Amino acid sequence: MCTAATYKTKDFYFGRTLDYEFSYGDEITITPRNYCFNFRHIGEVKTHYAIIGMAHTANDYPLYYDAFNEKGLCMAGLNFVGNAVYSQVNKENGKDNVAQFEFIPWVLSKCASVKEAEALIDNMNLVGTTFSEQFPAAKLHWIIADKNQAITVESVETGLMVYNNEIGVLTNNPPFPMQMFLLNQYMGLSEKQPENTFAGELDLQKYSRGMGAIGLPGDLSSTSRFARAAFVKAHSVSADTEEESVSQFFHILGSVDQQRGCCLVAEGKYEITIYTSCCNADKGIYYYTTYNNHQITAVNMYKEDLDSCKLIRYPQIERGSIMWQN
């Protein structure tokens, strides 16, 4: 369904793949500082941090899939069907009631760091209020990250859980603690060639490069994508220039790219990687590619009027072109 990751060289990078069988018409959307958020159970927030990310806009409201703010705090929601359970609105416990679709703008409008986000979440009820009949409450969990740390937030039957995300990766089911536990299966994998510990008396040959990672899963399930993205990220090496850092980040998420034809979800419908994003959270730049356009496209939030009050929206450039050399 989706994979998110963090990456750090000289700057801090964050992004995700969005894997689905169709698009809602997603746009790179900048919410400037004076756009008025009208939170369903809290009321209006008229001034806040500027936000940029990928969103579907309905009734002039940005329904963000992933985004970051001008302070460098990043956030993405990923599918968590079967495990996500939201609270009922509770006006008695003194906590803020935040609808699931408001969670990203609620955090990013107010918080400059993961530490601040943790404090905000500690005083929050995450509720299942729907945006509209056309957009019911999506069953999600979230990764929130800055240049210093990352956390995973899961609203489950036992309550709202917040986990330290040391690997800086998130996919889908099962719950995050189980995803981390399953990495134990791969502790013997390496970027180096293996040594023969199977049977010393046998003359076993290293017949190919890359044999140190034999056993790394290659299927499209969420547990396999989690392990593969975690391994590739953990072993990634790049220079710290913007070009090489961005390129390397797209290669990390490219390791879990979904191709049309490999994941059948209904008759004639296949899950594909609709878009992949890479955010330079330090410079305010949102990079992306789409399924039919692997040319990296970018939007810089600081080239816009961040003190305005109206959403700024850029449709995805979905078709690429071939650069001929003769």
By annotation, the residues acting in catalysis are 2
Over the chain, what HEC string results? CEEEEEEECCCEEEEEEEEECCCCCCEEEEECCCCCEEECCCEEECCCCCEEEEEEEECCEEEEEEEEECCCCEEEEEECCCCCCCECCCCCCCCEEEEHHHHHHHHHHHCCCHHHHHHHHHCEEEECCCCCCCCCCCCEEEEEECCCCEEEEEEECCEEEEEECCCCEECCCCCHHHHHHHHHHHCCCCCCCCCCCCCCCCCCCCCCCCHHHCCCCCCCCHHHHHHHHHHHHHCCCCCCCHHHHHHHHHHHHHCCCCCCCCCEEECCEECEEEEEEEEECCCCEEEEEECCEEEEEEEEHHHCCCCCCCCEEEECCCCCCCCCCC
Spatial CB neighbours of 239, under 8 Å, sequence gap ≥ 6 = 9, 245
Q: How many CB atoms lie within 10 A of CB 24?
A: 14
Radius of gyration for the chain, computed over Cα atoms and rounded to the nearest angstrom: 21
For residue 147, give both structure tokens: 């240049």
Closest CA to 144 of 173, 183, 175, 103: 103
For residue 4, give both structure tokens: 């998110």
Q: Are 215 and 189 in contact (CB under 8 A)?
A: yes
